[in-house]
Amino acid sequence: MAPPLLTKDHVLIAVDSMPGDWDTSTDPSFGREVTTMRRSADGQMEASGGRVTYEDITLTRFWDESRDSAIVRQFKANAGFYDGTTLSLTSLGSDGVPLGTPDTYTGNVKSVSPTGSDANSTDPKKLTVVLSIARGA
């Protein structure tokens, strides 16, 4: 029997330095440079792989004035406060029980952005955070 399909709405997002609910994250993306070369003119091609590098991950959540305005103020005063932030992505079954081990990513917060203003919009205000990933597990 095939395992059930997992949907994106069954992923729990947690940020250790910014508690609270998060509703979206971009997909984690990582890769490495691979160089092919020959040791001599008549040699076989060989491949040499570099270190894994990670793309930034963008997170969003609905704005909570008391919680999120403090994060914006802290970041403006001392952006380094959020260095070493850990993001955990946990897949949940249809019953809400965690499946397997969470994927974790550690890095530095690159930017913090509250939603701008629009006198003609009733869209909810959100907080957007970009995390520059240094390593994953």
97 domain residue, yes or no: yes
43 domain residue, yes or no: no
Whether the per-residue pLDDT at 66 is higher than 90: the answer is yes
Question: Which DSSP state fits 95?
Answer: T
54 domain residue, yes or no: yes
Taking residue 61's Cβ as centre, other Cβ atoms within 10 Å add up to 20
3 domain residue, yes or no: no
Residues 6+ apart with CB under 8 A from 103: 28, 88, 89, 90, 136, 137
Question: Domain range for residue 126?
Answer: 8-28+50-136
Beta bridge partners of 15: 87
59 domain residue, yes or no: yes
Q: How far apart are the C-alpha atoms of 122 and 115, rounded to whole Å?
A: 12
- Chain-centroid distance of CA 54 in Å reads 10
Give the pLDDT of residue 9. 87
pLDDT tens sequence across 7-32: 888 999 999 999 999 999 998 899 99
44 domain residue, yes or no: no
119 domain residue, yes or no: yes
pLDDT tens sequence across 26-62: 988 999 989 999 999 999 999 999 999 999 999 999 9
Number of helices and strands in the chain (H, E): 1, 8
2 domain residue, yes or no: no
Q: How far apart are the C-alpha atoms of 77 and 36, rounded to whole Å?
A: 46
Residue 35 DSSP SS3: strand
In total, how many domains does the chain have? 1
Q: How far apart are the C-alpha atoms of 34 and 24, rounded to whole Å?
A: 31
